[in-house]
Chains A and B, each alone.
Chain A
Amino acid sequence: GAVVSQHPSWVICKSGTSVKIECRSLDFQATTMFWYRQFPKQSLMLMATSNEGSKATYEQGVEKDKFLINHASLTLSTLTVTSAHPEDSSFYICSARKVGAVQSTDTQYFGPGTRLTVL
């Protein structure tokens, strides 16, 4: 199997507070995890690539000081939205790369997503 979990599944917070979202690969080790953001009726936008034990690589236009990513173990990556504002409200999805026998067989498996609402 290849199961990825996210916690929490939804969260409501006040403007100015910080929110942490966890992404776990339950039955495999993931040296690389990805964080996406999805707006209503739109595709996924890659925010950053998280590598275990090193700094995340952020996509252009994504504020690394606002979206803090930590990948401290082979099964856990966290995304912290700092000083959240209403415009940060979105559906955040993580994925974990399951390494195949050769790199070409790697597949990303996705978590169920976290809906963040900032009031």
Chain B
Amino acid sequence: AQSVAQPEDQVNVAEGNPLTVKCTYSVSGNPYLFWYVQYPNRGLQFLLKYITGDNLVKGSYGFEAEFNKSQTSFHLKKPSALVSDSALYFCAVRPTGFQKLVFGTGTRLLVSP
């Protein structure tokens, strides 16, 4: 079965510190991987995606993600967190040959001043 795991319900980090939001997946083939962010009562905003090529993908707002095929992971990272980064983050995969996305359960990021 295709699935995405975000093992942490919440991640707490102080402003200015680096942050990591974890994501692992279980999908056959070579999936396409995505990160989205959701602010309260809003839809999802696209952050970045991995299709192929360089394992380190850079996206919006200073975020980046590292694809690790052997560990089937796609962790989201940012070198220096901002209070405004506090939101709900979703990892998603699109299995090869499918249009739809499979989402993780989301990780709430809380950045304290």
Residues of A within 8 A of B (CB): 2, 4, 6, 32, 34, 42-44, 46, 49, 91, 93, 95, 97, 104-113, 115
Determine whether the beta carbon of B103 is less than 8 Å from that of A4: no
Additional A-B contacts beyond A42-B105, A107-B34, A112-B42 (16; CB < 8 A): A6-B43, A34-B101, A42-B106, A43-B90, A44-B90, A46-B101, A49-B99, A95-B44, A104-B51, A105-B51, A106-B99, A107-B46, A108-B34, A110-B44, A111-B43, A115-B41
Compute how far the CA of A2 lies from the CA of B51 in the bound complex, rounded to whole angstroms.
19
Residue of B nearest to A9 (CB): B41
Which of B32, B43, B90 is in CB contact (< 8 Å) with A104?
B32
For residue B42, give the distance in angstroms from its CB to the closest CB of chain A: 5
For residue B8, give the distance in angstroms from its CB to the closest CB of chain A: 14
Residue of A nearest to B45 (CB): A110
Contacts of A2 in B (CB 8 A): 46
For residue B70, give the distance in angstroms from its CB to the closest CB of chain A: 21
Contacts of B72 in A (CB 8 A): none
Determine whether the beta carbon of A109 is less than 8 Å from that of B46: yes
Contacts of B42 in A (CB 8 A): 112-113
Interface SS, B side: loop
Q: Which 10 A-B pairs have the closest CB atoms?
A: A110-B43, A110-B44, A112-B43, A113-B43, A43-B105, A43-B103, A111-B43, A104-B51, A93-B43, A44-B103
Compute how far the CA of A91 lies from the CA of B88 in the bound complex, rounded to whole angstroms.
15
Chain B contact residue count (CB 8 A cutoff)? 20
Compute how far the CA of A66 lies from the CA of B93 in the bound complex, rounded to whole angstroms.
28
Contacts of B100 in A (CB 8 A): 34, 46, 49
Contacts of B68 in A (CB 8 A): none
Compute how far the CA of A112 lies from the CA of B49 in the bound complex, rounded to whole angstroms.
20
Determine whether the beta carbon of A43 is less than 8 Å from that of B41: no
For residue A31, give the distance in angstroms from its CB to the closest CB of chain B: 10
Q: Mark B36-68, 1 if CB is under 8 A from A, else 0.
A: 100001111110010110000000000000000
